[in-house]
Chain A
Amino acid sequence: MAATRLFLRASPVKCSLTGLTGGVHSSLGLTLLKLSPACTAKPQAQRRHAAHFTYHPEPAPSQYGPTQKMNLFQSVTSALDNTLAGDPTAVIFGEDVAFGGVFRCTVGLRDKYGKDRVFNTPLCEQGIVGFGIGAAAAGATAIAEIQFADYIYPAFDQIVNEAAKYRYRSGNMFDCGKLTIRSPWGCVGHGSIYHSQCPEAFFTHCPGIKIVVPRGPVQAKGLLLSCIADQNPCIFFEPKILYRAAVEQVPTEAYQIPLSQAEVLQEGSDLTLVAWGTQVHVLKEVAAMAQEKLGVSCELIDLRTILPWDTETVCKSVVKTGRLLISHEAPVTGGFAAEISSTVQTYESTWIFKFPPQPHKKVTARESKYLSLYFALF
């Protein structure tokens, strides 16, 4: 289920939404709720929906050379292909990667590059990541696959205690920067508890690693190549619902999209929307609906890198609009939206004052009140 946190500065100056003071809790919520495509105000009997959003491909980038139509898993294969071609130390391993992977992300690579570079591991996540850390520390570009993000927990100790802290504890003598862990992530509709999880929040509590979530094929290839090139261990979560649904013109040559830079997809003046992965597309539709039905101009930001995240872009945007809505698939409590909201609140220039009064870092002169509302989009 997605969780969304909404911050409003209830100042009439910036706000064109109705019923903001007083009964805002119910009326604004219900107003926004009616906009939401996937839920109704009253609970109903279950209806089966297809994907809860439509994927709109972005225009082909022109600066990276010739492009080819690819979906998300093909763009991942292309990125891995470029890596194996350009870096002789690169190896790919994980469960079932040899035949192509359960999501077809590694199709053809074993035949092309040999079984010593693309190989299966037994069923042991802790072993896979530990092994990857060692291989990376010894100088190989190790690209490990965890078959589903839900299975990453046996490897949690290896990632948090070994990978993340290697450089620091050895005084920069050793590092496993050449390690990249790729994993299918997120809701897919029929995954239930063990094929749908989004564990990025667990890992954001750990300095030393980088976490990246792309929103589409062009982004995926560029971000994955950046992760592989980055000199820090990276976890790359691929939204599994987009593997086939997202089709775009993707450059065939290698290119990189910088990490720790959020992208503003749509400029706006009334509300900042922040999301990553699949939710970016849901919020695109929300932004369109808000513009059409309420005349609200939304600024949509794709966070891209979750750790370390681009605080500047998000905070500057909130300064401009005065309102922030963050949407993610993981549970609300302890989800990454909590971290974003807390940082935005303490950011110097946002001039936000909490209501009811609570201890806060910056006290401002303006008498503006802000409320936080939570709602989930599915």
Chain B
Amino acid sequence: MTPPVKGDGMRGLSVFISDIRNCKSREAEVKRINKELANIRTKFKGDKTLDGYQKKKYVCKLLFIFLLGHDIDFGHKEAVNLLVSNKYTEKQIGYLFISVILNHESDLMRLIIQNIKNDLSSRNPIFITLALQCIANIGNKEMADAFAQDIPKLLVSGDTLDSVKQSAALCLLKLLRNSPEIMPTGEWTTRIIHLLNDQHLGVVTAACSLIDILVKRNPEEYKACVSLAVSRLSRIVTSTYTDFQDYTYYFVPAPWLSVKILRLLQNYPPPDDPSIKSRLNECLDTILQKAQEALKSKKLQHSNAKNAVLFEAINLIIHIDSEPNLLVKACNQLGQFLSHKDTNLRYLALESMCLLATSEFSHDAVKKHQETVINALKTERDISVRQRAVDLLYAMCDRTNAEEIVKEMLGYLETADYHIREEMVLKVAILAEKYAVDYTWYVDIMLNLIRIAGDYVSEEVWYRVIQIVVNRTDVQGYAAKTVFEALQAPACHENMVKVGGYILGEFGNLIAGDPRSSPLIQFELLHSKYHLCSPQTRCLLLSTYVKFINLFNEIKPQIQHVLKQENNLKSSDVEIQQRSVEYLQLSMIADADVLATVLEEMPSFPERESSILSSILQKKKPPSDLANQQQKEEKVEKVEKTVMNGQNYETGPKIQTVNNNNQIDLIGLNATPPSNKTQTVLTSTTPVKSDQEALLDIFGGPVPVVAATVPPVQANLDSLFSDTFGVPTQRIASPVQEIPQFIPILSIQDNHIQFVFKNADILFENESIKILSKCEYKQNLARLSLTFMNKSNFVYQNFSVQPILGNDSIRVLPRPLDSNVLQSQSQLIQILNCECVNDFSQLPQVLVQFSCNGTQSRFELNLPIFLNKFFDPAQMDSQTFFSRWKNLGNPGQEQQKIFKANYPIDKDRNSQILVSFGWSSLSGIDPNPENFCGAGIIYTSTQQYGCLYRLEPNRQAQMYRLTIRSNKESISKRLIELLDNQF
């Protein structure tokens, strides 16, 4: 068939294209092309008499070959030669070749620029246009330098043809994109802005794009464009479709220009001038109203063009964000689109609503459509639309609807498209954390998330789960129980094993009382997954096992057996091997107290910005340099930034990852070469006893003869403890600004109530010092270690910690400090041995003093030691309990308090609080199964006190009655005080 060819029809080219099309195979095509390339090469090389037409034909063939996907490495010079021709068609092909094939760094660039210069100064407007289009296509730095002067002149000159002006405007725009420094200012500003008033709508359209980028570069300089743009817009909006002849597109007057103006105005805040402002609002209102009018044509083009303007108007309304009336109208309009039959409109409506949801004026209006959006998530057939629905649900989520939205998103995850799962997982994780009121809900959601989409749960997500569980005492027991149940599934995701391993290792003891989750069962359950896991997870599990040895001594043999197995002890993975060896040694040689010290419960993680959040923010951020785009995104970010425990993340430096070094190194044995550490522990098991330090001796801990004479051991141990704390010795994010002068600390606000239930946490922190406390108890004795971290850039001298006398009930004996100088960005550890002589309610105190730059800091510090810490839980049967209960019936021995529930009444939670308080939580004792009772013994140096309690919840009234009986009135009173407000 003869192909239809326009114009002069380069016959040879048509034949060649036909040949290629007739090729039956790829090989045949390549062969034909190579033949042609060889032919063209000889022609270009040998034949000096090639005329313009032939050159044009061959260049065109090369172009065709290139567009088929083959590389072209010659012919560039011939193409550039075509530019010299005075024939339009040859010039045109030359320019086309250059625009399509040449890259920016061509060595022919100078030649090209020279030719463009010639054409620009030509009297033939059609040559000028060609040259301008070429600049607009390539627009590199060299061209910017060469033409920065000429083009603005061309643009505003009265002699220039309209079509040339259009090209010149876009040409200048392109040059500005790559070379911002050629920004026209001064006299040019007004003249360029006035192009908005040009008679020719094509010129206005092109100029509008140019002004948009100029405004982005220098909004102040081009501010005058606002009023011109508004009046231009107003004239279009109020016109009829016959006013603009061919610029009316399917009955919509100048849609391209309208949209460009609406976008231009999004660069500025709402106009200050009230008359311009009201004119603009009228325009926007008219556009919204027109959307309600009947369509003038059934053609899709008509409604598309009309809605294009409408959506851009809504974008501007959202940008202005101060006209509640318009915002709500816009939202209603989008609401209608949500159930429109045109998929494109549903998509765009969901997208725009995302922005509306971030405005305080329209957030509630958006929420009205929640059901429709959820429905879209379930029923839309197009994945792009479903994705928009996910985004919108995320944006519209707040405290009132979080539970439902998270539920729906989780449900959708089961069937979600693979490539959006990871983002969805992050979104669910963020929402669950942000809106968790009840942290058991959070735990449930997160474990479900791992169950449903384990593969897409990134490390930062499961780290975060662990951080939250570690930091929240009230949820630990529940988390242990839930994760234990989740692990019972026949197939569970490795991420579940990781979370499960960590949580049981830390809090498995909280559920060990239940025979269904006894220590051995917990261990066997975890170990049944072991062989299916990656080395990284195995390492984590090994750490869990060694923690089990500490928590449940009774299963030590089983665990040692596993550690001894060849595949561990002689594992080809060096980390597994090392851990097996070290943990095995630790379990064999170290005694229970050393083990307990090394494997102490993890302290709270410092509150930081969730790394999940940073990762989603990164995803959102486009690499584009367009300011407008960023503006749009910023709005979304602003909302997101307020996520996560609220405050000041906006100002603070962003910390990207949360706990890098906690990945595998869960008990912190990895901070220095591990072999040394094991030795440290080993040597310390043969202590030389010192009479003076008998107190310490009871812990069987490492006792150097005199601390000062064997500093290495001490130092190593300290670092061991501090590693266990997870406290980095050097702050990674060092403060950017130096504090010019050190402000002495004279008193501190310390609230230690969290220590009633836990033994390690941050005691105090401000910008210059951070104090961590960690404490171990044994009957009437306590060993407290205070870590002082100097966060400033100053050295603290004469550092001392002294007990404040006066509290006879509790004796505090400090160990000498390693040094009395606390260097900048480093730490000192003060060990204090304490003895409970008598029951007490006043916290023991120490005086901390140091000097810095000549100013003296001196403050009192309450030690987080509470009476209940000296508890030992007591187990007993119902009969014993009630007979003792009766015996303690004297006045004063019983203390009672009736109070309103602070939290939803939850059996597991209550039981866990009671257990972490230190006494037992006995089941099956009280005739009413709702009630709790239990017992404990408080040890003091002088006497032991038995204490009994009953906690009776009343679900109807949401009240509790707590009764405590002990053989000393002051003890009963104090215990009631300590438990106040905890249920």
Do A and B assemble together? no
Task: Give the A-binding residues of B (Cβ under 8 A).
Answer: none
Task: Give the B-binding residues of A (Cβ under 8 A).
Answer: none
